[in-house]
Structure formats: structure tokens, C-alpha cells
Amino acid sequence: MGYLDKEQHRIVSTAVSAAEDNTSGEIVTVLADRSDGYTDVALWWAIGASFTAMSLMAAFPDFFLAKFDWLRGGWAGDWTQGQVLTLILGVGLLKFLAVLAIQLWQPLKFRLIPSPVTEQRVREEAIRHFKVGAERRTHGRTGVLLYLSMREHRAEIVADEPIALLVPAEVWGEAMVDMLAEVSRGHIAEGLAAGVRDVGKVLAEHFPRGDHDENELPDRLIEV
């Protein structure tokens, strides 16, 4: 099930169509649940927790062995080197599996992902969608992609080379602010539409619509 219903899709598509009435540019909108599965990040957290637990046990064996003796009824035992090693490895394995398991809860998993990682992967996924859906697919290479990734709470705007040469990345800042302001209030369609309108204004300034311009890319929102 997607984030938006038919009426909300229509809001975004209508905004794209209206924005393109004044420019030769083509705007593509993509709404994604997430940009990556981040399995590697989850594994690194589990590995880090596992090695931390094993290192602490190795550094303070008497303390932890006393705890295990207490769990066995308070009877102190003579631990062999092999038993201690087995215990350390067992605790490390349990810690590894436990940390992986708690990351099955998606809100926690995404909170544990460092911001630079999410920023990079959202950008990479936006560029991938741009290469597939917009890059070099218009006559004047005037495609722009608005990409919104919900789980990471991030958005990206990617423009074709002729646009990028004329329009600095900072210019898209207003579109990003307007879009995310609405999305943060739960108005996803309205946020995308606001971003589209701002992008359309920039495109109309640098790439006004000609008499023979045709709509070369679909106006509909792509939800993945």
C-alpha cells in the first residue's frame, strides 16, 4: 500500500502540469518509502555490540563470572579457561542476535543510521532514479527530478546538466524548504506540489516555454 491515494496523486500531477505550462523543462516526481535497506549498518551495530560485550567480559572476567555464579544459585565454581572462552563467545553471539532482532523495529533501525549515511544513500538513489527516468530523455536535456524518501525524512532535487550549469544547487533550497515544511505536517502531496511549483518558477526563468514545446515526460507521480 502506497502513501497517497488517487486524489493525492492528482494533486501532484496537476502541479507538475501547471508548472510545465511556463517552461520547456520537464519535472519528474518520485515518492519512495526508503532509499536503502541499510542491512550493512544493522550488521555493523550488531558486530559492535557483540565485540563490546566480549571485550568487557575479557577485561573483567571475575565480575561477570560472579554474576553467572549467582544465576546458578550462588555456588562459586572453578571456571576452566575453555569454559570462560565458551561463555564469552556465547554472550557475544547472543548480543549480536539481540541487536539484530531489535533493529527489526523499523523506527529504531532508522534512528540508528548515521545522518551522513542516509544523506549519501538518498542522494545516490535519487540520482539512480534520475538516470532511469529523466536524464537525457528530453530534447533540450531539461529534466528535473524531485525525490522524497519517507523513512529517511530526506528529499533531493536532481537536474539535467544544462540546468545544473545555469542554476546553482543552492537555488533549489526554497523548493526543499517549502516541500519539507508541508511533508513534516503530514501533507505529503501538498509538499510535493509546493516543491514542484518552486522548481517550475526557476525553470520558467531560465528555460521559458517555446511555441513548439511538447510534454516529453509523464506528469504523474511515481511511487516506489
**Which of 77, 12, 47, 20 is CA-nearest to residue 204?**
20
Match 545516490 to its residue by C-alpha cell. Answer: 124
27 and 61 together in one domain: no
126 and 147 together in one domain: yes
43 and 94 together in one domain: yes
pLDDT at 61: 82
pLDDT at 22: 87
Please check whether residue 216 lies inside any domain of the structure.
Answer: yes
pLDDT band at 173 (very low <50, low <70, confident <90, very high): confident
Whether residue 6 has pLDDT greater than 70: yes
Interhelix angle 39-59/61-71, rounded to 10 degrees, is: 90
Interhelix angle 39-59/81-102, rounded to 10 degrees, is: 150
Strand partners, 28: 145
Domain boundary among 111, 141, 173: 111
121 and 180 together in one domain: yes
Please check whether residue 70 lies inside any domain of the structure.
Answer: yes
Whether residue 64 has pLDDT greater than 90: no
pLDDT band at 77 (very low <50, low <70, confident <90, very high): low
Q: Number of structural domains, the chain?
A: 2
User: In which domain, by residue range, is 190 found?
Assistant: 6-36+114-223
| Range 207-217 average pLDDT | 71
The per-residue pLDDT of the chain, averaged, comes to 87
pLDDT band at 73 (very low <50, low <70, confident <90, very high): low
pLDDT band at 196 (very low <50, low <70, confident <90, very high): very high
Instruction: For residue 31, give the C-alpha cell.
Output: 515518492
131 and 76 together in one domain: no
Asked whether the beta carbons of 207 and 163 are under 8 A apart, the reply is yes
pLDDT band at 72 (very low <50, low <70, confident <90, very high): low
Whether residue 67 has pLDDT greater than 90: no
Q: No. of H helices and E strands in the chain?
A: 9, 4
pLDDT in tens, 105-159: 999 999 999 999 999 999 999 999 988 866 666 666 778 899 999 999 999 999 8
89 and 148 together in one domain: no
The CA distance from 132 to 14, in Å, is 23
**Does the predicted TM-score (pTM) go above 0.85?**
no
**Which of 96, 121, 98, 119 is CA-nearest to residue 176?**
119
191 and 128 together in one domain: yes
| Range 32-52 average pLDDT | 95
